[in-house]
Amino acid sequence: MATVPADLKYAKSHEWVRVSGNTATVGITDHAQHELTDVVFVELPAVGRQVKAGEACAVVESVKTASDIYSPVSGEITEANQAVVANPALVNTEPHAGGWFYKIKLSNPAELNALLTPQQYQAQIGAA
């Protein structure tokens, strides 16, 4: 069963957000990495890029498929996790910790209200 940490907000497209002040860290959920299987490549957005909520801004490739990663919130990319570029397996082994993708300075914090709670996300993936 996929883990759904209680301190995160979730997008219906399986990205998670951990907010600290006006910055959010973004990654993909444990459920998503299980669906992808072995991640072999990660392409992250450039620092300084402006993204809108729902915009494709990163790519994950696994042995099965390539998937776009959508930004759950709007803002400016402030950091990209080079550790996950160098070692894509972190997405599988630490999806909610070392396998994060990027940090974004929120331009519209109210967008967080549209994201799913852990309970809502658990219901979506059927992991109640």
CATH code (residue 114): 2.40.50.100
pLDDT of the chain, 128 residues: tens digit per residue:
567 888 999 999 999 999 999 999 999 999 999 999 999 999 999 999 999 999 999 999 999 999 999 999 999 999 999 999 999 999 999 999 999 999 999 999 999 999 999 999 999 998 64
CB 78 within 8 A of CB 22: no
The answer to whether residue 128 sits within a structural domain is no
Phi and psi, residue 73, nearest 5°: -140, 165
The answer to whether residue 127 sits within a structural domain is no
- What lies within 8 Å, CB to CB, of 72 at 6+ separation is 9, 10, 11, 13, 15, 16, 17, 24, 26, 53, 111, 115
The answer to whether residue 6 sits within a structural domain is no
Phi and psi, residue 88, nearest 5°: -55, -20
The parent domain of residue 67 ranges over: 13-122
Q: Which residues pair with 104 in a beta bridge?
A: 24, 77
CB 26 within 8 A of CB 95: no
